[in-house]
Structure 1
Amino acid sequence: MRRTLAARLMLCSILLLGLGAIAFSARSATPTAHEETDLPAKPAIVLVHGAFADSTSWTAVAARLQSRGYRVVAAANPLRGVKADAANLDSLVASIGGPVVLVGHSYGGMVISNAGNAGHRIKALVYVSAFAPEMGESAIGLSASSPGSTLGDALLPPVALPDGSHDLYIRHDLFHAQFAADVPAVEADGMAIAQRPVTDSALAEPSGPPAWASVPSWSIYGSKDRNIPPAAMAFMARRARSRHIVEVEGASHALMISHPDEVANLIVEAAEYH
């Protein structure tokens, strides 16, 4: 009787040890919730439009980024002044958890260059047909640094504002050729109607210390840009030590609309940079 009882106890012990080993193996093979959250998250992509455009100019690029699993925010850029617009962008960045990639088009490049980097939230900067200023430089000054811009001749008479500054618009009949020559005419006409004005004071305001001095940057622009001379953008991209500089042959200033694949690909490259 004692031998039978001992044998039974030994058999139970063996079974319990075996079940424990199986359970441990199962736990080891399945990552815990904590382990899953330790995986590096993709940065959010914040798209900043420039003068004479609005957030919808990023629609095609945003769709491509979202299809690759990125959270995308198309910021509404006030276009009132470099320092003020950058402060608005800083507030938006502060509301987003985790790292971000800032993408600026045209005057939007002035804004992302003046964004703060508190807590090292900003992982990368991407300049899309954009200004990448050094401290003290303005959009107007940089546009005149190389020949090729015809923007001045394409503007409507300035609209006076109560604070003494003026809103600037591109003439509707010249918008297609000036801003978006490689975009279908019907689409360009809609863009002309919906264009957001920029103040003359914003274009003349000097930049502060550039974010690209401490944050890696990427640059892409078109060879047929009539707003910002391509030679000026090439110079700014090299000066900002951009990791990858892309010139799209024949592309206009509205690069994110006419060549969304190239723009989205460069943004992803910046987002995946380690």
Structure 2
Amino acid sequence: MDRPQLPLNALRAFEVAARQGSFTRAAIELCVTQAAISHQIKMLEERLGVSLFIRTSRGLQLTDEGKSLLPVLEDAFDAISAALDRFDDPGYVEVLNVGVVTTFATGWLIERLGAFRRAYPGIDLRLSTNNNRVDLAGEGLEMAIRFGDGGWPGLWRRRLFDAPMSPLCDAATAARLKQPTDLYALPLMRSYRNSEWESWFAMQGLVCPKLNGPRLDSSPAMASLAAAGHGVALLPVSMFAKDLEEGRLVRPFPAEITTGSYWLTRLASRPPTQAMKRFETWLISEVAGWQETLSSCPSREA
């Protein structure tokens, strides 16, 4: 294929500036001046005949043309970097950055990481936990495991499993709960998904009381408060199986609701790397094995 002379310095300046969202931070990363970055971007825009950035009060924003160019350059530079790494290091290890909602990380994934590393020593799996709000491109992530209904535009997704939720609390609190209406007298902890308690009470044929418990964006934090006797939390039961088994949490009522699932996601515009494919295959296999034994996991119910 014939290639015109490629403005590699300008393309690199654009890719870093777009990723960093700032000419200043791009200059720091590339060890050049801010003026040099600005000059390279201007030269590239003139060559292409389009604007790539819009300056706003919140910083740099990509134009539609910039958004279409960025993933092409990211893939190209990643491929070049990977090829050069293999020349530099015979024991090359491919880095895989995965964002994981904290509940899934602490309740399911972390205890299985040793198995993944033994199976794939050539992949350096790096996890970044979050509260289910994640920007794959902006955070430099290849993949993300998140909770929801799967309705995320621009993402490829594969459902892992549902996460039914039920009220959980400490043993002393559970002893006071004989029927669902007894919950009316207790603090009910809330996540940012406001309708969860309403859905659970509706399943019992009850009106949800006014929620006056603490609002948190972390299920593990809610579980810690519940275990300490500060109220009742509506949590995905399977993610807290160990706490139930060891008695830190108790499940006073069997009723549960399903408001979403855990999903493995990546940008639909970016083809999966070998490491991404292997992680997906391993993850699906682990989920299948876990689901086969899930019914035998003990739980604590009052």
Over alpha carbons, which structure has the higher Rg?
A: 1
TM-score, scaled to structure 1: 0.32
TM-score, scaled to structure 2: 0.30
